[in-house]
Structure 1
Amino acid sequence: MNRNVFLKRSALSAAALASLPAFAHFSSKDEKDGKPLDPKIVRKGEGKQVNVIGDQQTFKLTSEDTNGLFTLIEEVNPPGTMIPPHVHTNEDEIFKVLEGELEVTVGDETTILKAGDLAFAPKNVPHTWKVVGDQDCKTILSVFPAGLELMFEELGKLPPGPPDFAKISEICGRYGISFLA
């Protein structure tokens, strides 16, 4: 390409970018309170581990890491582990299975997810999941926006033994989550 054509195309591209609205800011350094996001590498086995009423979670990225944009959690659970039907009013969730099998119901659809499959559970849509099959299930849970890990931490601090469903419902309710009968 000759120099004049290159300069003309570059000028047109710059003009097009300049015409984008102010909200169209694309950067990996989104700022909150003037602080740019820091890059982070999380290795296998790293992260905060929490037992959330039998759901074994490892927080990989939290609201603190992403300025509240999203939370990323690894779950590794044996067959039979499940969460009853519930609805979020604040968050969308994505479940991506890495190993094992996870039966999920989102809205009126129930299916079994296997390695590589995922399910999207938008806010205000009932959903539930249960580990099925004969091996542990490793799942990546993505939560948008972030903050649900605070509820998971609170639930993880409940005393061991049979769950106190009234206390669990109270905690979850403060985060906009309700269980279905």
Structure 2
Amino acid sequence: MDEPTIRPYALQAGEGWTYRFAELGIDFVVKVGEQRQGRGLGFFELTTRAGEEPPNHTHATEDEFFYVLQGEVAFRCGDDRFEVTDGGCVFLPRGIEHGYRIKNDGDARLLVVTTPVPDDAGWGGFVGSFERDSELRVVPPWERRLTGP
């Protein structure tokens, strides 16, 4: 199978591919996509607040890593519980039900990395599903310059 041409790139603050997580009504900004620029790695930035958390869920195909830029977040993964604040991180392995709760007032800012297990169908993981199935809300200015208006 021929590998797609992947070029190096840089993003400034606020740049990336913005998608809407429709169930929760929040946007997240993909910095490295599983389908678009990556090779099985998803990396995105998320600004959220209490009440916008996803329900408990399980990823069959990817591990997840959260880095808390700002805020206080209580993570759960199976029977384990973790309290993480500014500069802290948590690793959540695939196949274990997990979720999180924002504990602070105001915004929490998270960086999230997903590493999907390759599969024959090329499904990818969480970020890949948005790249394929969701509306791209904001195309970064640098990409518009490369592909036209």
Aligned residues: 125
After superposition, residues 93-172 of structure 1 pair within 5 angstroms as 93-145=64-116, 146-152=124-130
Q: Distance in 2 between matches of 1:34 and 1:104?
A: 36
Alpha carbon RMSD of aligned pairs, Å? Answer: 2.1
Structure 1 segments of 4+ aligned residues over 3 angstroms from their partners: 34-37, 152-157
Which structure features the higher share of helix residues?
Answer: 1
Amino acid at match of 2:15: E
1:65 is aligned to 2:33: no
Change (3 A) 1:83 1:35: closer
> What is the aligned counterpart of 2:17 among 35, 48, 63?
48
Instruction: Report the identity percentage.
Output: 25
Q: Structure 1 37/150 Cα, relative in aligned 2: closer, same or farther at 3 Å? A: closer
Q: Structure 1 residue 77 and structure 2 residue 48: aligned?
A: yes
TM-score calculated relative to the size of structure 2 = 0.73
Give TM-score, length-normalised by structure 1: 0.61
Counterpart Cα distance in 2 of 1:131 and 1:50:
21
Question: Whose radius of gyration is greater, 1 or 2?
Answer: 1
Identify the structure with bigger relative contact order (alpha carbons < 8 Å, sequence gap 6+).
2
- Matched residue type, 2:37: D
Q: 1:154 to 1:104 in 2, by over 3 A?
A: farther
Report the CA distance between 1:80 and its aligned residue: 2.3
The secondary structure found in structure 1 opposite 2:11 is coil
